Chains A and B, each alone.
Chain A
Amino acid sequence: MPGDIPVQQLYVKAPKIYVKPVGGVFAKLRVAAMWLLLGWYYLAPWLTWDNRQAILFDLPGRKFHLFGLTLWPQDFIFLTWLLILAALALFFFTAVSGRLWCGYACPQTVWTKAFMWMERITEGERNARMKLDKQPLSFEKIRKKTAKHSLWIVFALFTGFTFVGFFVPIRELSADMLNGSLGGWGWFWVLFYSFATYGNAGKLREQVCIYMCPYARFQGAMFDRDTLIIAYDSKRGEPRGARRKDVPRGHDGLGDCIDCMQCVHVCPTGIDIRDGLQVACIACAACIDACDEVMVKMDYPKGLIKYTTEHRDSGKETHVLRPRILLYGALLLGLFVLFIYALSVRMPLRVDVLRDRGRLYSMTSLGTIENVYTLKVMNLDQDAHRYRLQASAEAPVTVKAETEFVVPGGEIVNVPVRLEIDPYELSEVTSTVHFRIESLDKQDVVVDETSSFIKPANTGAR
């Protein structure tokens, strides 16, 4: 190894990033997004609907309550659809406007922002924080650090508690926590999510984006030359350098960049956007706000760092409507409409037919053949309904069961059904039988299910 090259290890201590707050258009948008998203997150579990929690993912009960809708495990396809929709939406918005999600809406970004605000009000601004970290241990340092971590811990605990409150009725959860009757697992999950919040938003921050986040890894696949990116206009900015205020613009051979480092200081991932587009950029536009502020002070035009596209940067035209966008958009819209349609026509009744496990068939003393089934009738509605059962096959069927029954709302009732058929009327050893279950008090609620009817092989068809 040449001697003039410094020794570099594969692992280094991650540098701590001191972020400077910034004002401006995009900063206001980000704060608004934070209030909206965090507000929704902390409020949502407290909403009620029909005397129950409006949003509750009841895992032990295996039911997802979303306002007026209750989803059962059998509705899993909707979750799949929802995930596909979310993925498509991500592709679509990324292709159009880059990493909108990362900069404005990602929980990692949003909670980090909240944590940074707490850091600021307890430890002071950027320079004060850097100084504080460098100075030896003192009473003041302990006081400030304690204040910060206390705020963080309280906020993280509340976050963890809220998260668990989406899965356990939050009013019961809060009562249990207050009177000490919450079980070990309850505490474990509350503390687990609290710790995860504290660790991610307090300690790891930008490292989650840089080293862990999978979405950041496949960004590049969704970008093209028309995608909105944040870029530094190097043609205008270079050569960069500090200057005297009294020299008119452009007369000292310098570009517009005054190398004040504001764009680096405000960057939550600690990168220098002037090096060009890079994987660690989460497109939060803090550097745009910071640079514009400086440009205004310098009396230069804004937009040295701006939202742009690669095409626009190279003097070509930007095409918003391009095949990729049209395809993503059409798919997204189509799937969304289908999803809403499927939800709206969802039959609030499901029936599973299980053949008896004991035997294939039994012969009566009259020589007819009986098969026994258990119908699991699931009333997916919130109210009780009365249903009627009918059965048919290629031959006349006698149904030996109670053909009318009531199923309470959100319950499953087992209805044992015995079907009797003359085996000589059936052409095959195994034939199909059709069950039809219809609601007697609600229009258009009908479910058709099929099962098989088995007869002995020595009873040939006539």
Chain B
Amino acid sequence: MSLTISLYIMALVVLNIGGCWWLLAKTKNLRADEDANGKVQHSYDGIEEYNKPLPRWWLWLFYITIFFAIGYLVLYPGFGHLPGVLGWSQAAQHEQEVKAAEEKVAPLYAGFAAKSVTELSQDPAALAVGSRLFGNNCATCHGADAKGAPGFPNLTDKDWIYGGDADTIKLTITGGRQGMMPAFGSSLDEPTQLAVRHYVLSLSGRDHDKDLAGQGKATFETICAACHGLEGKGNPMLGALNLTDDVWLYGGTQGAIADTIKNGRNGVMPAHGELLGESRIHVLAAYVLSLSAKQ
């Protein structure tokens, strides 16, 4: 707020409050013309009006509102750019509320922290909290039912890209993941890409051309096996996918696989360590663990 605007607002405020005061002071002793019967000296259609003065406390109410306004402007921000003597601000109040909320839930999370993730995954109270955390932070990508979508892993099956034990899940949530498959569109020619595609299809028993798959096997075992392993069973250390289980992160159709080989894939799971904090991630991991335990 520039000083000019601030001064302008101050002037307006002073003028208005002063104006209210002046109006009250001017009118409180006004005289009403009334005759001996207490009637005001005008009639209309034979209807006459009594003079009915308001009770005096009514006037005091008006004055109180003025004092209230002045008191408010002294205590709180409002008088131009002045912050008010209480130093109140929206941001500070928000931080205070957050702190109060954290303090309120701290004992709850302390109770959860005392148990292992595996124990918590059986605890209905922890799962209720976990499901809400999941709904707020994870469901946007993984879906409300955690069954994922193309590019976003299904968390309810037994198929884990980086490993499904409690510590790994916590690590994934805390630090995030960068799933990277390089693009082979420039290093492999079209026929080779086609052959590799059919070999990949054959790994999980999908429809494929036997001859092409046979041609692709050698290329797969020299290039792709570096990450996916000789048998194509993937590598949790690298986040390389298992190509033999017919679970497809980016789609298992001919087109989708061709696209993956040609252009590569970049999967990002954002890091939530800063956002959620250790105690919440502990509970969340238990919830994620419980999802696949149901299967």
Contacts and interface: CB of A to CB of B under 8 A. Distances in A.
Q: Do A and B bind each other?
A: yes
Interface of A: 1-2, 5-14, 207, 211, 356-359, 362-363, 365, 367, 370, 372-374, 400-401, 414, 416-418
B55 A211 contact: yes
Given A10-B27, A12-B56, 12 more contacts: A2-B33, A5-B33, A8-B31, A9-B30, A11-B58, A12-B53, A14-B56, A207-B55, A358-B140, A362-B143, A367-B253, A372-B143
A373 B144 contact: yes
A257 B34 CA distance: 28
A305 B57 CA distance: 34
Given A11-B58, A414-B131, A365 B251 contact: yes
B175 interface: no
A292 B58 CA distance: 37
Interface stretch (B12-20, B72-80, B146-154, B221-229): B146-154
User: Which of B55, B135, B251 neighbours the largest number of chain A CB atoms within 10 Å of its CB?
Assistant: B55
B141 A1 contact: no
20 contacts: A5-B34, A5-B35, A8-B31, A10-B30, A10-B32, A12-B54, A357-B139, A357-B140, A358-B149, A359-B149, A362-B143, A363-B251, A365-B252, A367-B253, A400-B145, A400-B147, A401-B145, A416-B144, A416-B145, A416-B146
B244 to A, nearest CB: 14
A8 B51 contact: yes
Contacts of A359: 149
Nearest to B252: A365
Nearest to B55: A14
Contact of A13 (B28, B31, B56): B56
Interface string B211-243: 000000000000000000000000000000000
Given A373-B144, A414-B131, A416-B143, A211 B31 contact: no
Interface of B: 27-35, 51, 53-59, 131, 135, 139-141, 143-147, 149-150, 248, 251-253, 256
Contacts of B57: 14
Contacts of A7: 31
A372 to B, nearest CB: 5
B96 to A, nearest CB: 15
A226 B143 CA distance: 68
Given A1-B33, A365-B251, A414-B135, A8 B53 contact: yes
B56 A8 contact: no
A6 B253 contact: no
B32 A8 contact: yes
Nearest to B38: A8
A374 B140 CA distance: 12
Contact of B34 (A8, A358, A362): A8
A276 to B, nearest CB: 12
Nearest to B145: A416
A11 B34 contact: no
Given A357-B140, A365-B251, A414-B135, A11 B31 contact: no
Given A1-B31, A365-B256, A11 B145 contact: no
Contacts of A401: 145
Contacts of A8: 31-32, 34, 51, 53
Contacts of B54: 10-12, 211
B31 A9 contact: yes
Contacts of B56: 11-14
Contact of A417 (B34, B35, B145, B248): B145
Contacts of A207: 55
Nearest to A6: B34
A211 B54 CA distance: 8
Contacts of A357: 139-140
Nearest to A402: B294
Contacts of A11: 28, 53-56, 58-59
Contacts of B58: 11, 211
Contacts of A367: 253
Contacts of A362: 143, 149-150
A211 B57 CA distance: 11
B143 A356 contact: yes
User: Which of B35, B135, B141, B144 neighbours the largest number of chain A CB atoms within 10 Å of its CB?
Assistant: B144
Contacts of A1: 31, 33
Nearest to A370: B149
A372 B139 CA distance: 10
B19 to A, nearest CB: 18
A356 B33 CA distance: 72
B200 to A, nearest CB: 13
User: Which of A11, A356, A417 neighbours the largest number of chain B CB atoms within 10 Å of its CB?
Assistant: A11
Given A9-B29, A211-B58, A372 B34 contact: no
Contacts of A13: 55-56
Q: Closest 10 interchain pairs by CB?
A: A416-B145, A14-B55, A362-B149, A365-B252, A416-B144, A358-B140, A365-B248, A374-B144, A12-B53, A372-B143
A164 B28 CA distance: 39
Contacts of A363: 150, 251
B154 to A, nearest CB: 10
User: Which of B28, B31, B135 neighbours the largest number of chain A CB atoms within 10 Å of its CB?
Assistant: B31
Contacts of A5: 33-35
A9 B28 contact: yes
